[in-house]
Each structure stands twice: as structure tokens, then as C-alpha cells.
Amino acid sequence: MHVDVKGLMPDSHYYYRFRVGTWISPAGRTRTAPAAGSDAGGMRLAAVACQAYQDGYYTAHRHLAQEDVDVVFHLGDYLYEYPVDAAGGARRYNDRTLPDVFNRETTTLADYRLRYALYKSDPDLRAAHARHPFLVTWDDHETENNYAGAVDENGSPREQFLARRAAAYRAYWENQPLRAEQLPQGPDARLYRRLAWGSLAQFDLLDTRQYRSDQAYDDRPHAPGAESDDPARTLTGAAQERWLLDGWRDSDALWHVMPQQVCFSQRRFDLTAPARVSMDAWDGYRASRNRVMAGAKAAGVDNWIVLTGDVHVGYAFDIKDDFDDPQSRTLGTEFTCTSIASGGNGSEKPANWDTYMKANPHMKYYDGRRGYVRVELGREKAQVDFRTVSGITQPGGSISTSASFVTEVGSPGLKSA
Ligand SMILES: [Fe+2]
């Protein structure tokens, strides 16, 4: 159901429901943003990602539904293409048996549609959607693991993969709160969007999957080199990059928030020099990242927050002008929102915690448990809270704030709250 409702008041909550014959749906709540350019004092958002159904319960969504936030950004891996067994994987259902139709990798339109139906049968996910408006972008798993543009991870023929991509994109659009005009045309879909919250914030929601160059070095962890640093390579595509940089240049917003998929900041995996980094993230596309950072500087974007999914852990980073020089200027901050479910319960200090913290001095926080990130944007500062659940393999886990940071207007960089 896609209804583009017109004539709503700015900065207001609305309730909605659907009626078919005598059947009336539960009521949902949404809200409109303050009018363009108006003097919004503050707002709160949440960022979530990565909800592999078979990895556990959506405990984090159940708590998210109780949060007082204006909007939720979903940063991708809303669903996973992998098979879900009869017991729902780690959910270990003993009161139901999932049909065989879910126990295979999604490749056709029917497969993807059914998979959304399974995910959306979850009561905790439904509660979060009913309570908050969602702004969504995808990562890889809504289609296929680590695909890049028209290239899948198995080296399938291009036309074959694009047919699968068209099916995945179509099912995504059908099942997400997207505008009618965003209907995909075959394997092409315009997902990147810009939204404003009065004069307080501009949100530039990116799509770093559809237009990217294929991963360098066979997508294995590798030190940056000639192959990955080729300036012809791109993570965003040329058109989206121009749109992003032009949008910053033309903006008077106080905050510039960039919700997107993969780690923007440098993330060294080892203490050796050179260290290996991820070829699937911005580290594998450093020329692309340098162009975006140069654009942010040229536009005078000085209250810059990047929100990231993908990695299934919570990180807080200072975005450094030169990531190899801890003394260089801090341009902004990045927060990864861990996962709702992917990876199971996780642990507070993953095995590589010491290595990562030492190898990346601009990484100020690293936690391997499930949850989401909550952000309060104000006129003087932003506060970011890592909301962490106790566990997801049993229903009913509790939530707490495991860390809080602030970043002050005009003085980019993380401070402990
Ligand atoms: Fe994921």
C-alpha cells in the first residue's frame, strides 16, 4: 500500500489505519517534519540495521517502539536472503513450524515477497513501525551478499544478476514506506533522498550498493593499494556524489547527517603496517571517500554526523581529515548502530577489541552486542546514546544505555557525555 497523503500540517503527529471491507487494521502513528527553513529547536532519531530473522528475536525493536523518537532510519539488511529453517533458526520455535518455502535462498520475486511477509509477521518489528515513521535505505542482503552494482558475489552473468536485483528491488519497494514515484524501473531504483528538519538538520540518505564499482582484491581484507585506490572507482556513482556535494553546498542547515550503509571511517584490522582494511567499505574506495570529504570541507559542513549500519557492532569514530594522522583536524563524527539481530547475542568485547582500539586511535567506542543508536540533535550539541539489549536468543531481554557521547556545534569530535 503506497499512499502519498497531501495537505498535512508540518511538525505534527498523525494516526492512520486501513480498512478493507469490514476489516480494520490496527492504528499506526507517524509525524511530519517542521516546515522547511523553520526554527526547529531539537529532534530525536534512532538508527537501526541488520535484522537477520534467523539469528534471534527483535528485542531491540520492542524497546525501540517505546522510545520517544521522531523518526527511525533503517540503514540496511532489513532482510537476509539466506535460508530460514523450520524452527526459525536461533529463535528455536517449539510452538510453530515455518514452511519449507523459507528454507532456501531468495532469488525470485515470489521468494523476496514471502521473505518480507515472514519478517513483517514479527510483532516487535510491527510495533516499531506502528509507533514511528521509518526512513529506509538498503544494503546488500535485501538483494545478495556483498553485490556491487551489477556484479554478484558468485560471478553470475550480468543479465542474470540484474533480473534478481530487479526482483529484490521491486519487493523492497512494495514492502517499505517509499513514495509511489520511487517505484523501481526493472533493476534501477532511485533510493537516495534528502530530507530537512526545519533549519536544524539536513539528512542525506545514501545508496552505496547500486552504483558502486566492484570490490578490489576479490573483496578480501587487504591493505589499500593501486587496485583499491584507483580514482576511477566509486562507491556512490558519479551522479549521487554530485547530488550529495551540491546539496551540502546549497544548505544552511545546522547539522548535516548522512545515514548510509558501510563504515566511512578508516578501520585497520591489524597493528602491522600496512594494515588490512575492508574492501567492501569506504576503506576500499578511498578516492571516493576523499572526494566526499573534500566536498564537505569545501561546503563548510562543520556539524557532520555519519550514521552507519553493516558491521553488526557499535563503533564511535572521529572522522579525521587524515586518518593516518591522529593530530589532523576532526571533520565530523560517525556512529555505527550495531545490529538488531544479526550475529546473535554478541559480546561486549569481541576478541579483536584490543587490536582495533589500538590500531584506530580515532575509534573511541566498540561494543559487540545488539541494539541501536539514539541521537538527539539540539542547537548547541548532539547527544548519541548506544542502546544495548541483554540478549536476543530468548524473548524478553532488557535494554540499557551502554555509552553516551556528545559532539558540540562548531567543535566537531566526540566527547564523553
Ligand atoms: Fe548485516
Domain contains 9? no
pLDDT score for 272: 94
> Domain limits at 263?
45-416
Q: Ligand 1 mean position to 276 CA, how many Å?
A: 21
Domain contains 260? yes
Rounded Cα distance, 289 and 268, in Å? 16
Q: Look at the chain and report how many structural domains it folds into.
A: 1
- Percentage of the chain exceeding pLDDT 70: 100
Domain contains 60? yes
Each residue's pLDDT tens digit, 334-378: 999 999 999 999 999 999 999 999 999 999 999 999 999 999 999
Q: Ligand 1 mean position to 281 CA, how many Å?
A: 13
Is the pLDDT reported for residue 417 higher than 90?
no
Q: Ligand 1 mean position to 297 CA, how many Å?
A: 30
Domain contains 15? no
Q: Ligand 1 mean position to 347 CA, how many Å?
A: 17
Is the pLDDT reported for residue 320 higher than 90?
yes
Q: Ligand 1 mean position to 310 CA, how many Å?
A: 5
C-alpha cell at 123: 510483532
Domain CATH code at residue 383: 3.60.21.70
Rounded Cα distance, 233 and 208, in Å? 13
C-alpha cell at 261: 550503509
Q: What is the mean pLDDT of residues 317-323?
A: 98
Domain contains 7? no
Q: What is the mean pLDDT of residues 239-247?
A: 98
Q: Ligand 1 mean position to 353 CA, how many Å?
A: 19
Each residue's pLDDT tens digit, 342-351: 999 999 999 9
Each residue's pLDDT tens digit, 36-54: 989 999 999 999 999 999 9
pLDDT score for 346: 97
Rounded Cα distance, 306 and 155, in Å? 32
Each residue's pLDDT tens digit, 61-93: 999 999 999 999 999 999 999 999 999 999 999
pLDDT score for 1: 83
Domain contains 322? yes
Domain contains 23? no
Q: Ligand 1 mean position to 9 CA, how many Å?
A: 36
pLDDT score for 227: 98
Domain contains 310? yes
Q: What is the mean pLDDT of residues 198-209?
A: 98
Q: Ligand 1 mean position to 62 CA, how many Å?
A: 19
**Strand runs labelled E in 310-398:** 314-320, 330-337, 346-347, 363-369, 371-377, 381-389
